[in-house]
Amino acid sequence: MNVNALFCLLVVVFCSCWNVPPQSELHFGTICTINLYDKGTRKLYQSIFNRFNEIEDHLSANKAGTDIAKVNAAAGIAPVVVHEDTFTVTEAALRYAESSGGAFDPTIGPLVQLWNIGFNDAHVPAQQEIDYTLPLVDFRDLQLNSEQSSIYLPRLGMKLDLGAITKGYAADEAVRIAREAKSPRGVINLGGNVYAFGVKKDGSPWNIGIKDPLEEDSIVGIAEVRNKTIVTSGVYERFFEADGMRYHHILSPVDGYPARTGLLSTTIIADRSLDGDALSTAVFVLGYERGHQLIESIPGIDAIFVFEDMSIRGTAGVIESFTLTNELFRVRK
């Protein structure tokens, strides 16, 4: 090998091992940004994004050939054997459906498809369409067989949709991969779903901004966390407007319309992003009183609620360390 070739090889090896800037890719319908600081090699970043691709290939409801597409196509016909990813996430979704009394419902698919919020043909369905679709949404009908790793929707027209929990699972997987690679710190940002693991280099906690649900590039305040995920669901994520009304994507399994409970957003702080993802949707649909009760019943979980009247409330474990930065809002004890 000549000197020039050896030099080029050394440059390639050096660049592939040395930390690189944060990396972003489009996954799960949003921009996903990974920052692993002093362990951010190209190889490690790519392994995380490759894992995201695998998860999408199993769990996407909007992609042909996925496990979810196969389960939905076989509704009312036969159970479908699925990948471990799919069974694990569906099993978790069913647990949260049960604990929330159906406020979080993984069989919400028919309603999601009916409204199609986030796509060009989003529209307000006729009441007759909603009345016809609602009986197809019932988590109690979902059948899981752990021995066969199969999922069955027993009625024709039922549809599984795990969009409200998949990003949480993906964030947890990203952290697992980073930690296995001995990365001491990092921030995983999957668009409204942030996981900050480790601590900053100076030993201080992470300061994570809580999104202002009314302004795109603004926050309402800052939460301090160590090894925690912060997941927010709100009216700002996906929506459309018709006849002067805004219709957001968080649908209520009770009446089939976007949930209206006096909340603009709900933020969950937890150890696992999968938990935070499911709960942020569940408590938004439940509303403050019932949502607060649910959070208080689960150890290690905290929540921040942003109301339509511009007030903010939170559980005891987080509100004391929450710093309000937006003068348009106020914190209520």
Q: Domain for residue 21, yes or no?
A: no
Give the tens place of pLDDT for each residue, 119-141.
889 999 999 999 999 999 999 99
Tell me which of 135, 152, 169 is where a domain ends.
152
The sheet with strand 150-152 has its strands ordered as 80-81, 150-152, 143-145
Dist CA 226 CA 99 (whole Å): 27
Tell me which of 118, 152, 186 is where a domain ends.
152
Give the tens place of pLDDT for each residue, 260-298.
999 999 999 999 999 999 999 999 999 999 999 999 999
> Are 279 and 218 members of one domain?
yes
We report the CATH number of the domain holding residue 138 as: 1.10.3980.10
Q: Are 94 and 144 in contact (CB under 8 A)?
A: yes
**Res 194: pLDDT:** 97
Q: Domain for residue 157, yes or no?
A: no
In this predicted structure, the answer to whether residue 234 has a pLDDT above a threshold of 60 is: yes
Enclosing domain of residue 82: 69-152
Q: Domain for residue 289, yes or no?
A: yes
Q: Domain for residue 158, yes or no?
A: no
In angstroms, how far is the first alpha carbon of the chain from the final one? Answer: 71
**Res 19: pLDDT:** 66
Q: Domain for residue 87, yes or no?
A: yes
pLDDT exceeding 70 applies to what percent of the chain? Answer: 94
- Residue 59's pLDDT band (boundaries 50, 70, 90)? very high
CA distances from 1 to 4, 13, 132, 273, 310 (A): 8, 16, 72, 49, 68
The count of domains in the chain is 2
> Are 146 and 255 members of one domain?
no
Give the tens place of pLDDT for each residue, 22-52.
999 999 999 999 999 988 999 999 999 999 9
> Are 238 and 122 members of one domain?
no
> Are 215 and 301 members of one domain?
yes
We report the CATH number of the domain holding residue 250 as: 3.10.520.10
> Are 252 and 322 members of one domain?
yes
> Are 209 and 326 members of one domain?
yes
pTM as predicted: 0.92
Segment holding 234, helix H or strand E? strand 228-234
Q: Which two tokens stand for residue 72?
A: 């939905």
